Amino acid sequence: MDDDLVLNISTDDGFSGKGGAGKKGGRWTDRLKVKRGLKRKERAEEKPAPKPKPKAAPAPTPSAPSTSEEARVPSHRPRKRVRLDDSEAAPSAPTHSKAPQTSRTAQASSSQAPRPNQIISSLFTYNPKVDAPTQQVISKPVAPSNAPLDYSTFSGLGLNPLLVSHLTTKMSILKPTAIQRASLPTMLSTAPEKTARDIFIQSQTGSGKTLSYLLPIIQDLLPLSSLSYIDRSIGTLAVIIAPTRELAKQISDVLEALLKMRLRAEDDSTSQPDTSTQLTRWLVSGLLVGGATRTHEKARLRKGVPILVSTPGRLLDHLQNTSSFNVGKCRWLVLDESDQLMELGFEETIKGIMQGLDGRRRMAKQAVEEGTTNEVGGWDWERRRRTVLCSATIREDVQKLAGTALQNPLMIKATEVDKEGDLLPKPEPSIAAAATSETFTPPSQLSQKYVTVPLKLRLVALVALLRTLVAQVQSQQGAKIIVFLSCTDSVDFHWNLLAGASMEGGGDAEDEEASGEDDSDEEDLTGSKAKPALEKVESTCALLPNVNVFRLHGSLPNAARLAALKGFAGRKGKNAPAQDAASVLFCTSVAARGLDLPLVRAVIQYDLPTEGGVTEYVHRVGRTARAGKGGEAWSFIAPNEVDWVKWAETKMQGDAGNAKVTLHGVAVEDLLRSGFAGRGTEYEQRATDVQLAFERWVLQKKENAQLARSGFLSHMRAYATHPSNEKHIFHIRNLHMGHLAKAFALRDAPNAVKVPGGTKVHNPKGAVKVKAHRVSNKEKIDGAKEWERDHSGDAEKRMQAIVRAQGRLTKKGGVLASYSGASEFQISGGYDLEKLVGK
Ligand SMILES: Nc1ncnc2c1ncn2[C@@H]1O[C@H](COP(=O)(O)OP(=O)(O)OP(=O)(O)O)[C@@H](O)[C@H]1O
Q: Is residue 215 part of a domain?
A: yes
CA distance 749 to 206: 40
What's the gap between Cα 467 and its chain centre? 19
Q: Which among 173, 217, 335 is the best mutation to test ligand 1's pocket, defined by most ligand atoms within 8 Å of the CB?
A: 173
Does ligand 1 come within 6 angstroms of the Cβ of 594?
A: yes
Protein residue with least CA distance to atom 16, ligand 1: 208
Specify whether 346 is located in the same domain as 451.
no
Specify whether 182 is located in the same domain as 310.
yes
pLDDT reported for residue 433: 64
Protein residue with least CA distance to atom 9, ligand 1: 208
Q: Residues of the chain with pLDDT > 90: what percent? A: 39
Does ligand 1 come within 6 angstroms of the Cβ of 144?
A: no
For 591-626, b where at least 16 C-beta lie within 10 A, e where not — what string?
bbbbbbbebbbbbbbbbbbbbbbbbbbbbbbbbbbb
Sign (positive/negative) of CA torsion 354, 358, 359, 364? positive
Q: Name the strand (E) or helix (H) holding 174.
A: none
Q: What are 483-519's pLDDT values in tens digits?
A: 999 999 999 999 999 998 654 554 444 443 334 333 3
pLDDT reported for residue 645: 94
| Mean pLDDT along residues 446-450 | 95
Q: Write the CA distances from 253 to 85, 286, 390, 640, integer angstroms.
A: 62, 10, 18, 43
Nearest Cα neighbor of 552 from 533, 529, 528 is: 533
Among residues 683, 711, 739, which one ends one of the domains? Answer: 711
pLDDT reported for residue 657: 58
Specify whether 400 is located in the same domain as 488.
no
Q: Is residue 239 part of a domain?
A: yes
CA distance 675 to 671: 6
Find the domain containing 309 and state its range.
158-264+280-370+382-413
Dmax (CA) of the chain: 108
**Residue 552: which pLDDT band, with cuts at 50, 70 and 90?**
very high
| Mean pLDDT along residues 274-284 | 60
Q: Name the strand (E) or helix (H) holding 239.
A: strand 238-241
Answer whether residue 763 shows pLDDT above 50.
no
CATH number, domain with residue 353 = 3.40.50.300
Q: How many residues does the chain have?
A: 839
Protein residue with least CA distance to atom 25, ligand 1: 205
Q: Calculate how far, in angstroms, residue 629's C-alpha sits from the geometric centre of ligand 1.
A: 11
Q: Calculate how far, in angstroms, residue 147's C-alpha sits from the geometric centre of ligand 1.
A: 9
Could you give the angle at the alpha carbon of 292 between the alpha carbons of 291 and 298, nearest 5°? 135
Residues 6 or more apart whose CB falls under 8 angstroms from that of 370 comprise: none
DSSP string, 482-538: EEE-SSHHHHHHHHHHHHHTTSGGG-PPP-PPPGGGGGGG-B-TTSPBPPPPSS--E
Protein residue with least CA distance to atom 22, ligand 1: 209
Residues 6 or more apart whose CB falls under 8 angstroms from that of 612 comprise: 343, 589, 619
Beta bridge partners, 550, equal 538, 585
Answer whether residue 465 shows pLDDT above 80.
yes
| Mean pLDDT along residues 425-452 | 75
| Mean pLDDT along residues 354-368 | 92
Sign (positive/negative) of CA torsion 494, 550, 243, 615? negative
Q: Calculate how far, in angstroms, residue 33's C-alpha sits from the geometric centre of ligand 1.
A: 64
Q: Is residue 52 part of a domain?
A: no
Q: Is residue 286 part of a domain?
A: yes
Does ligand 1 come within 6 angstroms of the Cβ of 257?
A: no
Q: Calculate how far, in angstroms, residue 127's C-alpha sits from the geometric centre of ligand 1.
A: 43
Q: Is residue 648 part of a domain?
A: yes
CA distance 540 to 503: 10
SS3 call for 100: coil
Q: What are 204-234's pLDDT values in tens digits?
A: 899 999 999 999 999 999 888 777 777 888 8
| Most confident stretch, 99-103, 732-736, 815-819 | 732-736
Q: Name the strand (E) or helix (H) holding 200.
A: strand 199-202
Q: Name the strand (E) or helix (H) holding 666.
A: strand 664-666
Q: Calculate how far, in angstroms, residue 627's C-alpha sits from the geometric centre of ligand 1.
A: 6
pTM of the model: 0.72
Cβ-contact 664, 136 below 8 angstroms: yes
pLDDT reported for residue 88: 35
Cβ-contact 346, 244 below 8 angstroms: no
Does ligand 1 come within 6 angstroms of the Cβ of 456?
A: no
Does ligand 1 come within 6 angstroms of the Cβ of 745?
A: no
Q: Which among 151, 209, 217 is the best mutation to test ligand 1's pocket, defined by most ligand atoms within 8 Å of the CB?
A: 209
Among residues 650, 683, 711, which one ends one of the domains? Answer: 711
Specify whether 406 is located in the same domain as 456.
no
Specify whether 404 is located in the same domain as 465.
no
CA distance 586 to 481: 9
Does ligand 1 come within 6 angstroms of the Cβ of 243?
A: no
**Ligand 1 atom at minimal distance to the Cα of residue 627:** 12
Does ligand 1 come within 6 angstroms of the Cβ of 553?
A: no
Q: What are 530-551's pLDDT values in tens digits?
A: 334 357 999 999 899 889 999 9
Cβ-contact 753, 787 below 8 angstroms: no
**Ligand 1 atom at minimal distance to the Cα of residue 594:** 27
Specify whether 501 is located in the same domain as 589.
yes
**Ligand 1 atom at minimal distance to the Cα of residue 247:** 27
Beta bridge partners, 390, equal 201
Q: Calculate how far, in angstroms, residue 206's C-alpha sits from the geometric centre of ligand 1.
A: 5
Q: Name the strand (E) or helix (H) holding 232.
A: none
Amino acid at position 201, single letter:
I
Answer whether residue 797 shows pLDDT above 70.
no
Does ligand 1 come within 6 angstroms of the Cβ of 392?
A: yes
Protein residue with least CA distance to atom 30, ligand 1: 208
More confident position, 441 or 73: 441
Q: Calculate how far, in angstroms, residue 149's C-alpha sits from the geometric centre of ligand 1.
A: 13
pLDDT reported for residue 314: 93
Q: Residues of the chain with pLDDT > 70: what percent? A: 63
Q: Is residue 218 part of a domain?
A: yes
Specify whether 621 is located in the same domain as 549.
yes
Among residues 391, 413, 435, which one ends one of the domains? Answer: 413
In degrees rounded to 5, what are phi and psi of residue 332?
A: -135, 135
pLDDT reported for residue 316: 96
DSSP string, 282-330: H--EEEE-TTS-HHHHHHHHHH--SEEEE-HHHHHHHHHH-TT---TT-
CA distance 661 to 646: 10
Q: Calculate how far, in angstroms, residue 807's C-alpha sits from the geometric centre of ligand 1.
A: 46
pLDDT reported for residue 503: 41
Specify whether 451 is located in the same domain as 364.
no
What's the gap between Cα 790 and its chain centre? 16
Specify whether 390 is located in the same domain as 469.
no
Burial of 741 (0-12, 13-18, 19+ CB in 10 A): buried
Cβ-contact 585, 564 below 8 angstroms: yes
Specify whether 398 is located in the same domain as 473.
no
**Ligand 1 atom at minimal distance to the Cα of residue 180:** 1
Specify whether 257 is located in the same domain as 391.
yes
pLDDT reported for residue 119: 40
In total, how many domains does the chain have? 2
Here the ipTM equals 0.99
**Residue 36: which pLDDT band, with cuts at 50, 70 and 90?**
confident
Answer whether residue 811 shows pLDDT above 60.
no
Does ligand 1 come within 6 angstroms of the Cβ of 490?
A: no
Does ligand 1 come within 6 angstroms of the Cβ of 180?
A: yes
pLDDT reported for residue 475: 73
Count other C-beta atoms under 10 Å from residue 274's C-beta.
Answer: 10
CA distance 680 to 673: 8
Q: What's the chain's Rg over C-alpha atoms?
A: 30
**Residue 564: which pLDDT band, with cuts at 50, 70 and 90?**
very high
**Ligand 1 atom at minimal distance to the Cα of residue 154:** 1
Q: Name the strand (E) or helix (H) holding 246.
A: helix 245-259
Does ligand 1 come within 6 angstroms of the Cβ of 208?
A: yes
Give me the chain's average pLDDT, please.
72
In degrees rounded to 5, what are phi and psi of residue 211?
A: -70, -25
Reduced 3-state DSSP string for 362-391:
HHHHHHHHHCCCCCCCCCCCCCCCEEEEEE
Does ligand 1 come within 6 angstroms of the Cβ of 209?
A: yes
| Most confident stretch, 98-112, 377-391, 457-471 | 457-471
CA distance 519 to 559: 7
Q: Calculate how far, in angstroms, residue 766's C-alpha sits from the geometric centre of ligand 1.
A: 52
More confident position, 1 or 593: 593
pLDDT reported for residue 408: 87
Q: Calculate how far, in angstroms, residue 178's C-alpha sits from the geometric centre of ligand 1.
A: 11
Q: Calculate how far, in angstroms, residue 179's C-alpha sits from the geometric centre of ligand 1.
A: 10
More confident position, 123 or 168: 168
pLDDT reported for residue 821: 25
Q: What are 3-25's pLDDT values in tens digits?
A: 222 222 222 333 333 333 334 44
CA distance 370 to 653: 59
Q: Is residue 753 part of a domain?
A: no
Pairing of β 760-761 and β 753-754: antiparallel
Cβ-contact 421, 151 below 8 angstroms: yes
Q: Is residue 253 part of a domain?
A: yes
pLDDT reported for residue 602: 96
pLDDT reported for residue 322: 93
Specify whether 398 is located in the same domain as 456.
no
pLDDT reported for residue 183: 93
Q: Calculate how far, in angstroms, residue 214's C-alpha sits from the geometric centre of ligand 1.
A: 12
Q: What are 78-95's pLDDT values in tens digits?
A: 444 444 333 333 333 333
Does ligand 1 come within 6 angstroms of the Cβ of 216?
A: no
Q: What are 133-190's pLDDT values in tens digits?
A: 875 655 567 788 888 888 889 999 999 999 999 999 999 999 999 999 999 998 998 8
